[in-house]
């Protein structure tokens, strides 16, 4: 875990010192929120919606300032910046933070959700809410889960049907032990690379492949350099909306309730935007000539079996995975 000292030496904090940090003056509060995605991505739009609602309800006393496109660093950086109150809200992918927050690991394992509706019910129900609660142990408030859809594999070489087709493919994964082991088990050679470097990595052949959802594949333009999309649907981990606990605790109880309520209400807003974005992103990349194939998901399911079993030797992970499985 990054220390406060290391953090204070980082470029992001210099930016914060120059005016990014939470501002509180003359009774007004500015909540800073960050995201690695561009301004029109559903996660960013949902947080913007939340900010507008809060600004309206407080007659401008609380407003949001959003920093999209990874301006303040990687997701791991921004989680730490939020813990140390340099910024207020970080929207991050669970895959990128599950080394740091073990309670999130069951949601990032392969093939734990039957479909997106199942994932949404789990996030909304007792399992999801209990996991959100655990962020408080490490200086954060888990405000909400957002959708991230199913991830599949795309590469610059050839269609992937079975794990055997993954041999020799150097595939980018988020910085997560689960993702490294999962993609290795699926037959490839997994390499963690920061999100912002994936396009160039594919373009320069530093990597051959990556895995993500349709929305990200399209919005990052990675489809221009990786022309084969093979539908593996191997992971459906959600996104998390996290707030600095110290900043949250410093608000009045009415303001805390308002933030929680609007975060909760932003979930269906995000989901509607998400469904639309996934559909248009898919259409856009297919119209641009990306080759699509349905992979043999049963074969991938079998390939990740032992790795999943290994993670489930941890009783807490095993119990959560079983609860997810038993849930309608």
Residue numbers of the site for ligand BDP (CB under 6 A)?
A: 36, 75, 93, 96, 148, 174, 195, 212-213, 216, 239
- Supply the minimum distance, in Å, between the C-beta of residue 232 and ligand BDP: 15
Cβ proximity to ligand BDP, 62 vs 143, nearer residue: 143
Q: List the beta bridge partners of residue 190.
A: 171
Nearest-CB residue for ligand BDP: 93
Token readout for 135 is 């962020």
Cβ proximity to ligand BDP, 36 vs 290, nearer residue: 36
Could you tell me which of 44, 34, 126, 47 has the C-alpha nearest to residue 81? 34
Q: List the beta bridge partners of residue 34.
A: 67, 90
- Supply the minimum distance, in Å, between the C-beta of residue 198 and ligand BDP: 7
Cβ proximity to ligand BDP, 185 vs 270, nearer residue: 270
- Supply the minimum distance, in Å, between the C-beta of residue 80 and ligand BDP: 15
Cβ proximity to ligand BDP, 62 vs 236, nearer residue: 236
DSSP structure string for 208-274 = SEEEE-HHHHHHTTGGGT--EEEEEEEE---EEEEEEHHHHHTS-HHHHHHHHHHHHHHHHHHHHHH
Name, in order, each residue with C-beta under 8 angstroms of 303's C-beta and a sequence gap of 6 or more: 163, 185, 186, 187
Token readout for 8 is 């204070």
- Supply the minimum distance, in Å, between the C-beta of residue 38 and ligand BDP: 11
- Supply the minimum distance, in Å, between the C-beta of residue 140 and ligand BDP: 16
Q: Is the four-CA dihedral 205, 293, 163, 100 of positive or negative sign? A: positive
Cβ proximity to ligand BDP, 217 vs 300, nearer residue: 217
- Supply the minimum distance, in Å, between the C-beta of residue 30 and ligand BDP: 23
Q: List the beta bridge partners of residue 191.
A: 172
Cβ proximity to ligand BDP, 148 vs 218, nearer residue: 148
Cβ proximity to ligand BDP, 104 vs 213, nearer residue: 213
- Supply the minimum distance, in Å, between the C-beta of residue 93 and ligand BDP: 3
Distance CA 293, CA 160 (A): 8
- Supply the minimum distance, in Å, between the C-beta of residue 250 and ligand BDP: 27
The angle, 0 to 180 degrees and rounded to 10, between the axes of the packed helices 116-124 and 126-134 is: 60
C-beta of residue 236 within 8 angstroms of C-beta of residue 156: no
Could you tell me which of 141, 144, 129 has the C-alpha nearest to residue 249? 141
Token readout for 82 is 């939020």
Cβ proximity to ligand BDP, 62 vs 207, nearer residue: 207
Distance CA 21, CA 155 (A): 39
């Amino acid at each position: 875990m990054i220390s406060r000292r290391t953090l204070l030496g980082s470029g992001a904090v210099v930016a914060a010192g120059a005016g990014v940090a939470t501002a509180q003056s003359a009774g007004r509060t500015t909540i800073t929120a960050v995201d690695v995605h561009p301004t029109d991505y559903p996660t960013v739009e949902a947080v913007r919606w939340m900010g507008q609602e809060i600004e309206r309800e407080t007659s401008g006393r609380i407003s949001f300032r959003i920093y999209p496109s990874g301006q303040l660093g990687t997701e791991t950086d921004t989680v730490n910046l939020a813990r140390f109150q340099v910024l207020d809200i970080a929207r991050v992918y669970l895959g990128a933070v599950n080394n740091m927050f073990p309670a999130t690991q069951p949601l990032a394992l392969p093939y734990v959700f039957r479909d997106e509706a199942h994932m949404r019910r789990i996030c909304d129900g007792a399992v999801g809410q209990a996991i959100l609660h655990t962020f408080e142990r490490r200086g954060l408030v888990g405000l909400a889960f957002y959708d991230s859809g199913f991830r599949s594999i795309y590469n610059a070489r050839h269609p992937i049907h079975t794990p055997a087709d993954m041999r020799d493919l150097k595939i980018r994964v988020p910085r997560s032990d689960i993702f490294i082991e999962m993609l290795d088990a699926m037959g490839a050679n997994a390499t963690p690379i920061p999100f912002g470097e994936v396009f160039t990595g594919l373009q320069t052949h530093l990597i051959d492949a990556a895995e993500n959802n349709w929305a990200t594949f399209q919005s990052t333009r990675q489809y221009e350099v990786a022309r084969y999309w093979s539908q593996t649907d191997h992971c459906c981990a959600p996104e998390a909306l996290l707030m600095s606990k110290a900043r949250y605790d410093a608000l009045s109880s009415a303001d805390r309730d308002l933030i929680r309520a609007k975060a909760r209400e932003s979930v269906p807003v995000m989901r509607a935007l998400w469904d639309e974005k996934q559909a248009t992103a898919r259409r856009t990349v297919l119209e641009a000539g990306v080759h699509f194939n349905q992979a043999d998901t049963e074969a991938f399911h079998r390939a990740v079996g032992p790795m999943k079993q290994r993670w489930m030797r941890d009783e807490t992970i095993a119990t959560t995975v079983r609860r997810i499985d038993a849930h309608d």
